[in-house]
């Protein structure tokens, strides 16, 4: 190598600098805020080829509300580089649980679509569903405060359809070009390699504070939605608007929803932290045990259908992925159900190698111009090529369609099929049985006219960043509002830079002044920061009770788990009575004893234990019963794990059943009685209390913002 090529050239390696006005906050083309300090000089942002960028906030579109253009080399370079940053695990959604099952249609959408999976009532279609966390790596814990991915692969008669969504119906950003920035901000900070699987750090909140479009999503992630009790108790959303196309070529917009049969259920933050320590695999283990026991997870499948005329009347733009359509505005129509009934034979072969892509649709389903969706249509395929190492990843059994498929794509790394014949192109006249296009039944895009000047500009209808965030917050119960405020205080307390905390509180003033005051007080700010000027007026939208979580919880024991703490001398008759009553209501029951070998009951029999007290804390259960003899209580009153067992159950608002010996342990732990602390000898009282959290107790055990 010549000396000229190895010599350092400062003109080439040092980025150009541009001076910005001192202490100024600038608003970008997408409404984002750029904060500059005094005398700050910023490097010129360029492509990897050195081309300076005029706009890093918006993809190139055919018109402000039009589709993203393939010629956008800036988007493609940025997304491609991002997709290839990690091998072999996924960059996001690395930690996951996957289960096989089926989808059954119960109501036909024949007037809206030709997709057979949505028209043939009673047809059972195989599915593989993968539920994941977003931010953490494959070795992170199951229970962080995080969004859950909710991806379903339908193996339909017409090809694979992948509905790749989340347990939250909106997203942080409006344009796919910002996705690498979002994930870089939320991931471990690159100079220190932590925190793992957490948003409570400076880079995340710095990005969010300068991105007002994220405020709606912030309300969701700070809510109890991101602390699910079980993967069987979360909703799923397709997030974006899609199109259904009928036989006449007419299209109708659609949003897809999954609703859990068991209802929604969350944990409390303190409880979640302790679960992570007690069982990092809590969600995966709970799902596995449910499937193995035949308690198959089930969801209703529902749609929101609306026309272009309906959309024009909405007080928001449905193409904006930071917006949802309230159920009170467009009611949900339940059209089917999904049941997950078979655990994978091999985790790597299926859960890890499964490849989802929003671009995988079947005839009768099409895309909207949602700019985040448009970027995802490109990004997912590119990611799978990198992660699975070959263009032939579709031949891996978990990814392969269960219907016939054929084309002229050949060879490539890890080609597992053996195509025969002379012809590998179309049209051709040399082979009568080679695959050809099918004009009458093949996939057709919606015939939607597009016109306008191509540009990097965001539609004005995307400018309202606060109205739905306000609607979400005001729709919550008082308990949930307190949890949101407390979560914001916790997260922002971990942020080192005061100006980031202040900027976030300023945003909260547009959502609800009381929320901003509660968070400011919790952070110890001397005064309430000034709110930034919104890009569009904040609307007072009507509350939507459907957005609540507590209000949608079901007072049932089905899918819940009861822990019964015993010791030597416990009364087997009482234990069996409580166990039977709980199981009759659909709950599972686990026996906890000081030793894993179990305990000798009052009648001399040995009752095996499902868990040892020190390693099976009450955070793993939805309610607990403490059934002890006098001597057993005396022993456990000297055991800190037993004291913590009942104290945590009380602090986490769970029902506690007790007998005479159990009462002694509660007294030693300084636990008083309320509606959720009940004598097991009162008929059905414990079972009734165990069906719900004791929300009224919270104000007596926890200081909330």
81 given a catalytic annotation: no
Peptide bond just before 88 cis, omega within 30 deg: yes
Distance, CA of 65 to CA of 461 (rounded, Å):
9
166 given a catalytic annotation: yes
Residues 6+ apart with CB under 8 A from 637: 643, 664, 665, 668
For 221-261, list the strands marked E by DSSP. Answer: 236-237, 242-245, 251-260
Tokens of 75: 């988007």
- Is there a contact between 494 and 207 (Cβ–Cβ < 8 Å)? no
Cα→Cα distances 70→62, 377, 421, 462, 618, Å: 10, 11, 34, 22, 54
Distance, CA of 360 to CA of 161 (rounded, Å):
5
β-strand partners of 99: 129
Peptide bond just before 195 cis, omega within 30 deg: yes
Residue 587: closest CA among 665, 682, 652, 654: 654
Distance, CA of 186 to CA of 204 (rounded, Å):
5
Residues 6+ apart with CB under 8 A from 634: 664
Q: Pairing relation of β-strands 606-607 and 599-600?
A: antiparallel
- Is there a contact between 689 and 680 (Cβ–Cβ < 8 Å)? no
- Is there a contact between 149 and 199 (Cβ–Cβ < 8 Å)? no
Tokens of 658: 């007790």
Residues in the chain: 705
- Is there a contact between 370 and 240 (Cβ–Cβ < 8 Å)? yes
CA 437 to chain centre: 38
Active-site residue identified among 58, 93, 257, 283:
93
β-strand partners of 126: 102
Tokens of 267: 């944990």
Active-site residue identified among 58, 160, 166, 369:
166
- Is there a contact between 592 and 575 (Cβ–Cβ < 8 Å)? no
The CB-side HSE value for 235 (13 A sphere, CA atoms) comes to 21
Peptide bond just before 485 cis, omega within 30 deg: no
What count of other Cβ atoms lies within 10 Å of the Cβ of residue 314? 15
Helix (H) or strand (E) holding 220: helix 215-221
Q: What is the 3-state secondary structure (H, E, C) of 285-320?
A: HHHHHHHHCCCCCEEEEEEEEECHHHHHHCCCCCCC
* Active site amino acids: 93, 166
């Amino acid at each position: 190598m010549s000396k000229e090529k190895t010599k350092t050239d400062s003109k080439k390696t040092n980025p150009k600098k541009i001076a910005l006005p001192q202490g100024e906050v600038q608003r970008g083309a997408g409404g984002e805020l750029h904060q500059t300090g005094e005398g700050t000089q910023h490097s010129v942002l360029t492509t990897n080829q050195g081309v300076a960028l005029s706009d890093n906030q918006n993809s190139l579109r055919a018109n402000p509300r039009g589709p993203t253009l393939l010629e956008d080399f800036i988007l493609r370079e940025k997304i491609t580089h991002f997709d290839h940053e990690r091998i072999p695990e996924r960059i996001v959604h690395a930690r996951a649980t996957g289960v096989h099952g089926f989808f059954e249609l119960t109501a036909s959408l024949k007037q809206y679509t030709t997709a057979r999976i949505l028209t043939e009532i009673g047809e059972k279609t195989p599915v593989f569903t993968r539920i994941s966390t977003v931010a953490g790596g494959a070795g992170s814990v199951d229970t962080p405060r995080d969004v859950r991915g909710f991806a379903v692969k339908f193996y339909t008669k017409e090809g694979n359809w992948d509905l790749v969504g989340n347990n939250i119906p909106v997203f942080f950003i409006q344009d796919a070009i910002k996705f690498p920035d979002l994930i870089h901000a939320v991931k471990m900070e690159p100079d220190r390699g932590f925190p793992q699987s957490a948003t409570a750090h400076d880079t995340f909140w710095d990005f969010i504070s300068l991105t007002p479009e994220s405020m709606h999503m912030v309300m969701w992630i700070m809510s109890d939605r991101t602390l699910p009790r079980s993967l069987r108790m979360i909703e799923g959303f397709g997030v974006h608007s899609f199109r259904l196309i009928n036989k006449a070529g007419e299209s109708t917009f659609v949003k897809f929803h999954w609703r859990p049969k068991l209802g929604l259920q969350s944990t409390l933050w303190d409880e979640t932290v302790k679960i992570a320590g007690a069982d990092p695999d809590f969600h995966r283990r709970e799902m596995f045990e449910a499937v193995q026991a035949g308690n198959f997870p089930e969801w209703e499948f529902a749609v929101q259908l609306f026309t272009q005329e309906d959309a024009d009347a909405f007080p928001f733009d449905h193409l904006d992925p930071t917006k949802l359509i309230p159920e009170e505005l467009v009611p949900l129509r339940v059209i089917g159900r999904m049941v997950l009934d078979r655990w994978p034979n091999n985790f790597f072969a299926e859960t890890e190698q499964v490849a989802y892509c929003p671009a995988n649709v079947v005839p009768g389903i099409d895309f909207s111009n949602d700019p985040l969706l448009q970027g995802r249509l490109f990004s997912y395929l590119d990611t799978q090529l990198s992660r699975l190492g070959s263009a032939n990843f579709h031949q891996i059994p978990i990814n392969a369609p269960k219907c016939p498929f054929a084309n002229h794509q050949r060879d490539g790394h890890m080609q597992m099929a053996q195509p025969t014949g002379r012809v590998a192109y179309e049209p051709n006249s040399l082979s009568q049985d080679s695959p050809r296009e099918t004009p009458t039944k093949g996939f057709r895009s919606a015939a939607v006219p597009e016109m306008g000047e191509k540009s990097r500009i965001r539609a004005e209808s995307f400018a309202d960043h606060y109205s739905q965030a306000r609607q979400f917050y005001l729709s919550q119960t008082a308990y949930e509002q307190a949890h949101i405020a407390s979560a914001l205080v916790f997260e922002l307390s971990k942020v080192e830079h005061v100006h980031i905390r202040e900027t976030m509180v300023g945003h909260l003033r547009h959502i609800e002044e009381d929320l901003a005051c509660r968070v400011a007080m919790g952070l110890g700010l001397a005064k309430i920061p000034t709110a930034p000027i919104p890009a569009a007026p904040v609307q007072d939208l009507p509350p939507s009770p459907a957005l609540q979580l507590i209000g949608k919880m079901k007072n049932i024991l089905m899918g819940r788990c009861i822990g019964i703490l015993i010791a030597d001398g416990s009364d087997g008759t009482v234990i069996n009575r409580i166990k039977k009553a709980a199981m009759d209501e659909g709950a599972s029951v686990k026996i906890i004893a000081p030793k894993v070998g179990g305990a000798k009951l009052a009648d001399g029999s040995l009752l095996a234990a499902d868990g040892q007290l020190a390693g099976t804390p009450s955070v793993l259960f939805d309610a607990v019963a403490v059934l002890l003899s006098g001597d057993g209580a005396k022993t456990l009153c000297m055991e800190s794990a037993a004291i913590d067992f009942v104290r945590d159950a009380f602090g986490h608002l769970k029902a506690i059943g007790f007998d005479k010996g159990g009462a002694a342990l509660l007294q030693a732990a300084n636990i008083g009685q309320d509606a959720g602390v009940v004598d097991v000898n009162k008929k059905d009282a414990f079972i009734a209390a165990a069906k719900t959290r004791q929300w009224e107790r919270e104000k007596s055990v926890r200081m909330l913002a």
